[in-house]
Amino acid sequence: MQKIAIYGKGGIGKSTMTANLSAAFATLGKRVIQIGCDPKADSTINLLGGQPLQSVMGYMRSYDREPDRLEDIARTGFGGVLCIETGGPTPGLGCAGRGIIATFNLLDDLNLFETFRPDIVLYDVLGDVVCGGFAAPIREGYAEDVLIVTSGEKMSLYAANNIASAVENFADRGYAKVRGILFNRRNVPDEQKKVDAFAQAHGLPILADIPRSDAINRCEERGMTVIEADPDLPISQKFLRLAVSLAAEQEIG
C-alpha cells in the first residue's frame, strides 16, 4: 500500500492535483482512497460528479455521535475511488486540525485499510499551517511520502518551504519524506526560475509540471476531473504519467 500526503497552500490547486491523480491511479487499475484533510471538505467533489460529501465532523455534529460504518462517511466516486472528507468544526469554534486527528482515529477503529485494501491512499492536506492535526499525516505514520504543490507565487513558495522544513525536522524519526514537487503554474514572472531555485535549495525533483489549463476549469464546472472527461487530453496525460511514475518508484522501492 502506497500512502502519499499532498500538501500545499490553500487555493494553490492541491485538491485539483489530488483528485486528478486519484483518477489517474484508478484508470491504471489501482484501488484508491482519497481523504480530504481540509475544513472546506471539497477535496473529492470532482470525483463525485460535483456532489459534496458529508464530512466526518459534519456527521458527528448532525447525529451527535460517531458513525458506526464506513458507508456513513464514505462514497465511491469515479473509477471506484473511495472518497472521505474530514471536515472541520463549526466556524469559529474549535481547532480544524483536531478534526483530522479525530477522523484518523475513527478510520482506524473502522478498519478502513483492512476492509477496503487499497493500493494507493492519497491525503489532501492544507499546508498553510503545518502543526497539530495538519502534521498528522507526516508524523503519525499515515503517509510515507509527501508531494508539495506550489506555483512561483511568493506565498505559495513560502508555504512550500514551511512544509519541506517541517518534514525535514522529522527526518530522523523515520516519518514521511518529501518525494518531490508538483509545479502548478500560475504564469507569474520568472516562475520557472523561482520554483527551480526552491527545488534545488531542498534537493527535490520537480515530478510534474502542470500548465494553466482551461480544460481543468471546464471539467470542474461539470464536476469531474480531466481524466474522467478525456484521458487522451494533453493535461490528462500529464497526470497519468505522474501516476505511472509514482507507482513504478513504489514497486522499485
Domain 2-245 has CATH 1.10.150.130: no
Residue 194 known to be catalytic: no
Residue 235 phi/psi, 5-degree rounding, is: -70, -35
Rounded to whole angstroms, how far apart are CA atoms 225 and 47? 7
The answer to whether residue 3 is catalytic is no
Q: Which of 31, 76, 54, 23 is CA-nearest to residue 216?
A: 23
Strands 82-85 and 74-76: antiparallel
* Active-site residue, from 3, 9, 30, 238: 9
How far apart CA 128 and CA 150 sit, in angstroms, is 12
What pLDDT score was predicted for residue 130?
A: 75
The pLDDT assigned to 139 comes to 80
The residue annotated as part of the active site, out of 14, 30, 194, 238, is: 14
pTM: 0.94
Q: Give pLDDT, residue 94.
A: 62
Q: Where are the domains of the chain?
A: 2-245
199, 164 in Cβ contact below 8 A?
A: no
Distance CA 143, CA 124 (A): 11
Q: Residue type at 50? A: G
Active site residue 9: yes
**What is the spatial distance between Cα 70 and Cα 3, in angstroms, rounded to a whole number?**
19
126: β partners = 8
Please list the pLDDT of the chain residue by residue as tens digits (253 residues).
999 999 999 999 999 999 999 999 999 999 999 999 988 899 999 999 999 999 999 999 899 999 999 999 999 999 999 999 998 766 665 666 777 888 899 999 999 999 999 999 999 998 887 777 778 888 878 899 999 999 999 999 999 999 999 888 877 777 889 999 999 999 999 999 999 999 999 999 999 999 999 999 999 999 999 999 999 999 999 999 999 999 987 665 5
Q: Which of 40, 177, 196, 209 is catalytic?
A: 40
Active-site residue among 119, 128, 196, 209? Answer: 128
| Catalytic residue status for 64 | no
Give the CA distances from residue 90 to residues 20, 39, 133, in Å, rounded to whole numbers and listed in that order: 29, 9, 16
Q: Which of 100, 78, 80 is nearest to 89 (CA)?
A: 100
